[in-house]
Amino acid sequence: MKRVGRFLKTNLGITSLLLVLIVRFIFVSFPMVQESVYFDGLFPFIRRIQSWLYFLWIVPGYYIIAALLLLIIVFGLRRRKPWKNVLMNGLNGLGWIVSVYMVYFGFQYTSQGYAERNHLTIDDYEVNIAAIYLEVMEDAHQARLRLELPADSSILSVSHIPSDEEISSWVSGVLSDFPASTIPTKAQRVRPEGTLRRLGISGIYNPFTGEANIDAGLTNLQQVYVLAHELAHSMGITSEAEANFVSFLACLKSQDPIGEYAAHYMLWRQVAREVNRELAPEQVEALAAQIPEELRQDREAIIRQYYKHEAYFPELTDAFNDTYLKMQGISSGVENYNEFLQLYLSWRNSND
């Protein structure tokens, strides 16, 4: 026991990791403890401190953190040490990083999510996916017509989009029962354009600085929806499906023409993904032939922008994300993104 105690005292990073794993076990076993200690207490407190420190992040915090880690690694390699010491230093450093991550955000994975709090379920609903596709496509078309854009112009011609503060207020309205929803979140456009897209993602929440990062190369419509998604994470949403759904609701209820169109457009594209998975090619082609010209123009413009910044290693990104989500208790992994449609159907049924 003395050797174990001495080991833990001299390897504080590993010790801290063991402690947060014990706390995580307690939170999983006693949800009410997690609710009162972390969800209602520590997490909003941390987010408040982060909001006070936003002046530090002139550039996205991930850049600064990456630069510091690189300096630490380079400095450590210059100091000649036995490989065992280098290994233990690396494990301790990793232990500290994971521990801070768990305290800053990771414990949220043990709390009730938006779906459970609002009695929504992720079930395999028996639906006529083609009929739903046509219905949501018509909703998207009507929202697009309300923008009153000139003929033969795409959504990219819209130069003005809602401010970050407006989008944040939409998300806060949906998550009004989340204590962290009242805390401002700094939005960062990551440049150069395509930086995040090259990594296979459109946006990412930085739990260490509390920033919502989105790729500066996204189209204006995507920026609205993706930012709302990342802001949902900053307010305590962990599930990707739930973050997508909160983003959808926030935009839908925004009473802003661009926001409403973003909600309907992204829902249409989510349903289109299911159509491509479930229906025969000839059925897909028949549905595609009914796409209104305005939606077709927008879709083509967004796709052209997308292919300007193709991901370098999309399979590697998916594998990493899949492993990460499963380690956090989301058993479906990256498929969790696609569970948005089940949440939408559950919400729709409950509002019929």
Burial degree of 193 (CB within 10 A; 0-12, 13-18, 19+): middle
Residues 120 and 107 grouped into a single domain: no
Residues 218 and 327 grouped into a single domain: yes
Residues 239 and 334 grouped into a single domain: yes
Residues 101 and 245 grouped into a single domain: no
Residues 56 and 194 grouped into a single domain: no
pLDDT score of 334: 47
> How many domains in the chain?
2
Ranges 41-50, 143-152, 165-174, 187-196: which has the least confidence: 143-152
* The token pair that represents 105 in the structure block: 């955000």
CA distance 228 to 243: 8
Residues 73 and 123 grouped into a single domain: no
Residues 151 and 266 grouped into a single domain: yes
Of 55, 89, 111, which marks where a domain is finished?
111
Average pLDDT over residues 52-68: 92
Of 111, 138, 172, which marks where a domain is finished?
111
Residues 138 and 285 grouped into a single domain: yes
- pTM comes to 0.91
| 261 close to 144: Cβ distance less than 8 angstroms | yes
Residues 80 and 157 grouped into a single domain: no
Look at the block and give the residue holding tokens 């993104």.
337
Residues 174 and 27 grouped into a single domain: no
Residues 129 and 100 grouped into a single domain: no
Instruction: Show the domain range for 42.
Output: 2-111
Angle CA 3–8–9, to nearest 5: 95
The tens digit of pLDDT for each residue in 122-178 reads 777 678 899 999 999 999 999 999 998 887 888 888 878 899 999 999 999 999 999
Q: Is the pLDDT of residue 61 over 80?
A: yes
348: number of Cβ within 10 Å: 12
Q: Which amino acid is located at 37 in the chain?
A: V
pLDDT score of 123: 74
Of 111, 136, 167, which marks where a domain is finished?
111
Contacts of 153 by beta carbon, 8 Å cutoff, 6+ apart: 297
The tens digit of pLDDT for each residue in 87-121 reads 777 788 888 899 999 999 999 999 989 999 999 88
Q: Facing residues of 188 across strands?
A: 213
Within 132-290, strands assigned E span 186-190, 203-206, 211-215
Residues 271 and 141 grouped into a single domain: yes
